[in-house]
């Protein structure tokens, strides 16, 4: 479910993404409840297929990648194979900038990442916290879009972005149920 960014920021001021959020004019926040303990949910984040949680998303990303190459939006950007969740590694096409997980701090735990191309500079964070006997999982995206083309791009991709995030949250819920 998408929620108001102010609700997230008020409750999570100490997170990596909340500290960075003032640099970005766009803040998009989704939250989902997962019926599993936080450490199990955090372990499920170690899967780059969450960025494209289904064949239709892989097709969508292939078309978006083709457009990015054709129009020169994504110079130097590439999709990486699975890498451990550690700063400096990659999560699909994102660079992992921050990890605070089990063993390092008490929940909420967080994986923060960044990406930049000609159209946008963005951060995405996955935050895992204990809630209601299970886990609350947040997906927070901060972005600045470059010029008119970048802002138009966001208007076009935002509905897809929101659906993609919701599908990723659903995939994590399904994987948590399977154990």
- Model pLDDT, residue 17: 96
- Model pLDDT, residue 15: 94
Query: What are the phi and psi torsion angles at 173 (to 5°)?
Result: -60, -45
Instruction: Summarize pLDDT for 142-175 with one digit per residue, the tens.
Output: 999 999 999 999 999 999 999 999 999 999 999 9
Per-residue pLDDT of the chain (179 residues), as tens digits, is: 777 888 898 889 999 999 999 999 999 999 999 999 999 999 999 887 888 888 888 888 788 888 888 888 887 778 788 899 999 999 988 999 999 998 877 779 999 999 999 999 999 999 999 998 899 999 999 999 999 999 999 999 999 999 999 999 999 999 999 87
Q: What DSSP assignment string belongs to 49-98?
A: GGGS-SHHHHHHHHHHHHHHHHHTTTTT--PPPP--S-TTSEETTEEEEE
- Model pLDDT, residue 27: 94
CATH numbers and ranges of domains, the chain: 2-178 (3.30.530)
Coil, strand or helix at 132: coil
- Model pLDDT, residue 7: 85
Q: What is the DSSP letter of 36?
A: S
- Model pLDDT, residue 149: 92
Q: Which of 41, 158, 17, 28 is nearest to 107 (CA)?
A: 41
Q: What is the DSSP letter of 22?
A: G
Element holding 8 (H helix, E strand): helix 5-11
In 101-158, where do the E strands start and end? Answer: 109-116, 120-131, 134-145
């Amino acid at each position: 479910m998408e929620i108001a960014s102010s609700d997230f920021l008020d409750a999570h001021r100490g997170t990596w993404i909340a500290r960075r959020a003032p640099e970005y004019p766009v803040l998009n926040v989704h939250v989902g409840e997962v019926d599993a303990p936080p450490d199990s949910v955090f372990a499920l984040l170690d899967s780059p297929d969450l960025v494209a949680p289904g064949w239709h998303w892989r097709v969508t990303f292939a078309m978006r990648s083709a457009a990015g190459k054709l129009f020169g939006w994504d110079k130097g950007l590439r999709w990486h194979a699975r890498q451990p969740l550690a700063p400096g590694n990659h999560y699909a096409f994102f660079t992992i900038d921050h990890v605070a997980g089990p063993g390092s701090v008490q929940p909420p735990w967080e994986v923060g990442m960044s990406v930049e191309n000609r159209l946008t500079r963005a951060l995405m964070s996955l935050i895992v916290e204990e809630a209601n006997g299970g886990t609350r999982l947040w997906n927070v995206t901060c972005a600045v879009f470059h010029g008119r083309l970048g802002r138009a791009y966001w208007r076009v991709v935002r509905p897809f972005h929101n659906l993609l995030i919701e599908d990723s949250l659903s995939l994590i819920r399904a994987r948590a149920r399977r154990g």
